[in-house]
């Protein structure tokens, strides 16, 4: 590995000088393309780990570990961490950094060099089957936060809880209830898998480079999806259609999905709902009922 971290420091977590030095040694400049903003404040990552309730009993999946700021704080608890990193330089450097700064935790880290959207199964810790993480804790890249979160909830059924740091506006959308101004596709689809609740706001100055927007934490608690004869794909098709023309009534917005405005109205009525409502008024259970009543010829 090309970088040579300093001897084990008194505080194993990365401060501002550590982040900049490590970035320089690796020839890394945070890129907007990958949505990279590195956390430079140890207090912030320790707060995230405490808020997530991570203990030595946990297996945690982290997306976009970057230089390892949050990874080190997670490992500090005694937990095992599976870190998914798309950047090959960062993926290769992370185990070296952990071995240098928190050597006792080196065997509790697995690094997956991949786009999180491509992950279907996680590797195994030595002597075990594929990792079954129960918690997701991550500083999600701003530009892919929602699809990454939904994909991991779909593909990793072992995930029961999560605490993700996202753009504050995205946090509002994920946690929004039906009828609120920010309620939309992310809110409804996240609700299929879990209860999402906005937590603390994170100031911009804890990042390098400093982003142009605020960040916030979103707590995720897995729950069973609505009981429905419709599949998740069928329900999500209704959600997408309902919000594709947000200001239109369900009768109009669902016309293409159902085959006509009349069939859309019939499906909505059969679900016990008013076709003159807009999608923003419906919860995920309502969308599931509509999906069940789509006509066979649609």
The response to whether 154 counts as a known ligand-binding position is no
233 is in an annotated binding site: no
Angle at 131 between CA 129 and CA 135, to 5 degrees: 155
CB 61 within 8 A of CB 114: no
> What are the tokens at 203?
């100031």
Phi and psi at residue 36, in whole multiples of 5°?
Answer: -85, 125
Alpha helices, DSSP H only, in 3-79? 16-26, 42-52, 69-76
Judge whether 212 is annotated as a binding position.
Answer: no
What 3-state class would DSSP assign to 16?
Answer: helix
Q: Is 64 annotated as a binding residue?
A: yes
127 marked among binding-site residues:
no
Q: Is 268 annotated as a binding residue?
A: no
DSSP state, residue 140: -
DSSP 173-207: HHHPPTTSTT-SHHHHHHHHHEEEEEEEEE-GGGE
Give the residue ranges of the annotated binding site for S-adenosyl-L-methionine. 37, 39, 64, 85, 115, 139
Give the annotated binding-site residues. 37, 39, 64, 85, 115, 139
């Amino acid at each position: 590995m090309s970088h040579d971290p300093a001897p084990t420091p008194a505080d194993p977590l990365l401060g501002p000088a550590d982040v900049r030095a490590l970035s320089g040694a690796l020839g890394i400049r945070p890129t907007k393309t990958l949505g990279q903003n590195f956390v430079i404040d140890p207090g912030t990552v320790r707060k995230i780990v405490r808020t997530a309730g991570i203990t030595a009993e946990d297996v945690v999946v982290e997306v976009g570990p970057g230089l390892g700021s949050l990874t080190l704080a997670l490992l500090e608890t005694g937990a095992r961490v599976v870190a998914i990193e798309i950047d090959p330089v960062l993926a290769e450097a992370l185990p070296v950094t952990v071995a240098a700064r928190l050597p006792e935790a080196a065997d509790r880290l697995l690094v997956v060099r991949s786009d999180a959207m491509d992950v279907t199964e996680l590797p195994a810790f030595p002597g075990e089957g594929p990792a079954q993480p129960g918690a997701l804790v991550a500083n999600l890249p701003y530009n892919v936060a929602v699809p990454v979160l939904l994909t991991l909830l779909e593909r990793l059924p072992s995930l029961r809880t999560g605490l993700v740091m996202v753009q504050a506006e995205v946090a509002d959308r994920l946690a929004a209830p039906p009828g609120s101004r920010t309620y939309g596709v992310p809110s409804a689809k996240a609700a299929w898998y879990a209860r999402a609740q906005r937590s603390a706001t994170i100031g911009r100055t804890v990042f390098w480079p400093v982003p142009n927007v605020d960040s916030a934490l979103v707590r995720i608690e897995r729950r069973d999806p609505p009981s429905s004869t419709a599949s998740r794909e069928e329900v999500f098709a209704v959600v997408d259609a309902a919000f594709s023309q947000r200001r239109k009534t369900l009768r109009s917005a669902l016309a293409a999905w159902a085959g006509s405005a009349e069939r859309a109205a019939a499906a909505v009525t059969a679900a016990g709902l008013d076709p003159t409502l807009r999608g923003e008024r419906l919860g995920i259970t309502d969308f599931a009922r509509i999906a069940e009543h789509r006509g066979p010829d649609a």
